[in-house]
Amino acid sequence: MKTLKTILITGSFLLAGCNGKNPNLLTEENFTNAEWVSVPYTGEIWTSYMGEEISRYGNWRIYRERVAEKNRFTYIERNDTSYIIGVKGKEIRVPDLDSSGFVVSGKDTVRFNKTQVKTNQNLF
């Protein structure tokens, strides 16, 4: 019990030292500074999110909100599943949050760069 108390006290000091800011969490500034790239709309945005080298912890909510805002669509929840409604085209815009020059969209990892499109068959 004494060891547990020591661990909890030490952890609370570490958390207090963080000053409430986590450098791994996305902020509004990340989306303002990111280049937004047009990608084919495949019915979801998860693979675009997974293609960015960003922390998976705590960022999905803000990513969903900002992508929906930028593309002017909304989500509906049915049976514990989110559905995107209001997409008016075959492309949507997603942010290049890691500034790699690429975003990933689609299950076959189609990569987009500012000037050229590459697919799996011509990546190698």
Per-residue confidence (pLDDT) for residue 121, from 0 to 100 = 34
**What pTM does this model have?**
0.69
Question: 70-100 burial string, b = 16+ CB within 10 Å, else e?
Answer: ebebeeeeeeeeeebeeeeeeebebbbbeee
Q: For every one of its 124 residues, what pLDDT tens digit does the chain have, with 9 covering 90 and above? A: 666 656 666 655 455 445 556 888 999 999 999 999 888 888 888 888 988 889 988 999 999 999 999 999 999 999 988 889 998 888 999 999 999 887 875 554 555 555 444 433 333 2
Helices (H), the chain: 2-17, 28-33, 46-50, 60-71
13 lies in a domain? no
88 lies in a domain? yes
20 lies in a domain? no
67 lies in a domain? yes
69 lies in a domain? yes
60 lies in a domain? yes
Cα(74)–Cα(64) distance, rounded to whole angstroms?
A: 9
Q: Which two tokens stand for residue 117?
A: 């499109």
Q: Which two tokens stand for residue 44?
A: 């979801």
Q: How far is CA 91 from the centre of its chain?
A: 17
Q: How many domains does the chain have?
A: 1
Query: What domain range includes position 37?
Result: 25-122
Per-residue confidence (pLDDT) for residue 22, from 0 to 100 = 81
17 lies in a domain? no
57 lies in a domain? yes
